Chains A and B, each alone.
Chain A
């Protein structure tokens, strides 16, 4: 008999969406993840926590966010009715605030005094720095050096808000490496520190917890659309990097079988070029950053660098619930190139007077395609997840506008 024989029972997998999700992390983090899981579960059923969060959303975030019908933009989308869920009007300029306020409240409940966060475009970093300022927490934000250059304005915003921004020089110097560095910090300082992960990826409970803090988007939007037009939309559209704004608006609609859910990934130069961040469209199942999902990877399981004009979508992984929704056919995922996204960015600005985040412009480009497919009878609900102020420099460069 070999001593490798082992009859001890393995504990059941936790936090799965079909074969996806779970926990693939150093044992050092298990205690913190269990503490967080317990705090999340108790908070979800605690009326005091919910009241506190609702109050913050009403008096600080600016919820509920409104719906804007994009009448002129509609002409470029096959005449379909285009309803924009205006998460760009939230405090700090994107949906990210929904999650950070929830996690900051949990941090307070767990008695921790320091938070860390990763950021790509800087939206989540700014949101985390904002929540830390509001709650008096020490805040460190990890950001790929490449992204600190692309998004220097957001670096300044985080510093003004009192956060320390650490540029990450390892690997591809983007979001993926910022997450690695944040994980290393967390492993080292887990007693004092909560990691405010910014998307629906990472080890359990993050995908579920971050979704729970963003699902308010879809809850509000579903009711708003019903009130506005007396029926549900034909399709709900969102951009997907890690997938937090998409899961936020999709979730309430999952039981509505007739409502199509469509996520638009960053196609970069085109999926066929290999220079993209379309993880579901162009990747394969694997494990990255503590969760099993689709991953951009090579034959040896090494993560492949992603490419997108949008720093917020420039990530070679995706949330496990999206992987599952894709596999069971409940949601569709398509790729939008940089060029298509920038056309939509320009169009929304010029037809509606709304400058979208380049991330969200991927969903708008998707609306232009889906609208033409479905025609003028269709109603499309689009999550306008962020505003484009942070992207003005990138856009000016792209369109050749002198600064």
Chain B
């Protein structure tokens, strides 16, 4: 049986376009507000959702996501809220993955985490600081429960290492477009295209590009060579800057529709 995430990429390949994947931390801007954002995303052309597990020490994240994670933690977001959000997004019709640093999984229990993902309709987990060397228990648990394992590769990932990491990916390969942390950038580094080309040489798995994508034009460019476009900080930034929730939801909708148009214009 394939996961909803895998089905998304089957569908977008048939439609000859890239998938749009949005990121939001669970519990941001509040535990209930997060659900309203998800509702809007689901109705605005987003194909899949990446739900962040807010963490105290997010070394891969820039200031925007750090701030959002801080707000979510203040609101009391923990593993049960994360799984509840996964279920909500799945029920809203989105293929759903969780993005989490490793320690919350280890603390929850590796098997239990994989099981709860599956129980709540989650398709997979993005683990930005889990190296393949430390993955044995995680691979066994996710295999047992049919949960995709998504690893992040960087422009510096080369040669045999790249093939070793992509071999452990399922669902998709997460290609970090640049060397650095999450956050909107004015231009997408040329390294992204090169990295996607190098990943393709190692796997037939779909490849989604994240880090720095924030506009329709950037989404269009990336959709020209990748199977998925991941947008996180841009959504969070407009929610952080909006004067109230209604205007935040309106702007989230506008950006999602823009990006959804972008991923359809790439090829």
A336-347 contact mask (Cβ, 8 Å, vs B): 1 or 0: 000000000000
Say which one of B11-19, B175-183, B232-240, B251-259 lies at the interface with A. Answer: B175-183
A188 adjacent to B168 (CB under 8 Å): no
Complexed CA–CA distance, A171 and B56 (Å): 8
Binds A, one of B29-37, B138-146, B220-228, B242-250: B138-146
| B148-186 Cβ-contact flags toward A at 8 Å (1 or 0) | 110111111110010011011011000010011100000
Closest A residue, CB atoms, query B157 = A27
- With an 8 A cutoff between CB atoms, is B132 at the interface? yes
Query: Contact between B103 and A25 (Cβ–Cβ < 8 Å)?
Result: no
Given A6-B139, A28-B156, is A184 in contact with B133 using a C-beta cutoff of 8 Å?
A: no
Tell yes or no: A288 within 8 A of B by CB: yes
CB nearest neighbor in B for A23: B131
A301 contact from B59, B108, B161, B170, Cβ within 8 A: B108
A299 near B107: Cβ-Cβ < 8 Å: yes
Mask of A203-244 contacts with B, CB within 8 angstroms, 1/0: 000000000000000000000000000000000000000000
CB pair A190–B133 under 8 Å, yes or no, is no
Of A8, A25, A32, A300, the contact of B107 (CB 8 Å cutoff): A300
Residue in B3, B105, B156 whose beta carbon sits within 8 Å of that of A4 in the complex: B3
Interface check A170, CB cutoff 8 A: yes
Give bound CA distance, A183 to B181, whole Å: 10
B-chain residues with CB within 8 Å of residue A273 when the two chains form the complex:
none
What 0/1 readout, one digit per residue, does chain B (106-147) give for beta carbons within 8 Å of chain A? Answer: 111000000000000000000011111111100100110011
A290 is an interface residue with CB less than 8 A from chain B: yes
Contact B143 A5 (CB under 8 A): yes
> Do B2 and A2 touch (CB < 8 A)?
yes
CB within 8 Å for A11 and B180 given contacts A26-B59, A286-B106: no
- Contact A28:B154 (CB < 8 A) given known A6-B143, A171-B57: yes
**Chain A CB within 10 Å — which of B58, B102, B170, B171 has the most?**
B102
Note all chain B residues with C-beta closer than 8 A to A58: none
Given A3-B170, A188-B179; A287-B157 close (CB under 8 Å): no
A299 pairs with B179, CB closer than 8 A: no
* In the complex with contacts A26-B59, A187-B179, A300-B147 CB distance below 8 A: no
**Of B2, B60, B107, B133, the contact of A26 (CB 8 Å cutoff):** B60
Residue of A nearest to B170 (CB): A4
How far, in angstroms, from A290 to B1 measured CA to CA in the complex?
35
Are A297 and B103 in touch, CB under 8 angstroms? yes
Please count how many residues in chain B sit with their CB below 8 Å of the partner chain's CB atoms. Answer: 58
Query: A11 near B157 (CB under 8 angstroms)?
Result: no
Contacts A301-B108, A302-B56: A8 and B168 contacting too (C-beta < 8 A)?
yes
What separation, in Å, do the CA atoms of A47 and B131 have in the docked complex? 34
A189 neighbours in B (Cβ, 8 Å): 179
B-facing residues in A285-312 (Cβ within 8 Å): 286-290, 292, 295, 297, 299-303
Across-interface contacts of A292 in B (CB, < 8 A):
106, 134
B44 sits at the interface (CB 8 A)? no
**Closest A residue by C-beta to B169:** A6
Complex-state Cα separation, A108 to B146, whole angstroms: 48
CA distance A117 to B100 in the complex (A): 26
Name which residue of chain B comes closest to A301, CB basis.
B107
- Asked if B78 CB lies within 8 Å of chain A CBs, one says yes
Shortest C-beta distance, B1 to chain A (Å), equals: 6
Question: 18 more A-B contacts (CB under 8 A) besides A25-B59, A289-B59, A301-B107?
Answer: A4-B142, A4-B146, A4-B148, A8-B164, A10-B168, A12-B133, A24-B134, A26-B59, A26-B128, A30-B156, A184-B60, A187-B180, A191-B179, A286-B103, A286-B106, A287-B129, A292-B106, A300-B78
Chain A interfacial positions (CB closer than 8 Å to B): 2-6, 8, 10-14, 22-28, 30-32, 170-171, 176-177, 180, 183-184, 187-191, 286-290, 292, 295, 297, 299-303
6 cross-chain CB contacts under 8 A: A4-B146, A6-B143, A171-B57, A188-B181, A287-B102, A297-B107
Give 5 closest A-B pairs by Cβ, nearest first.
A301-B107, A28-B154, A8-B167, A301-B104, A300-B78
Q: Give B contacts to A, CB under 8 Å.
A: 1-3, 6, 55-60, 62, 66, 70, 73, 78-79, 102-108, 128-136, 139, 142-143, 146-149, 151-158, 161, 164-165, 167-168, 170-171, 176, 179-181
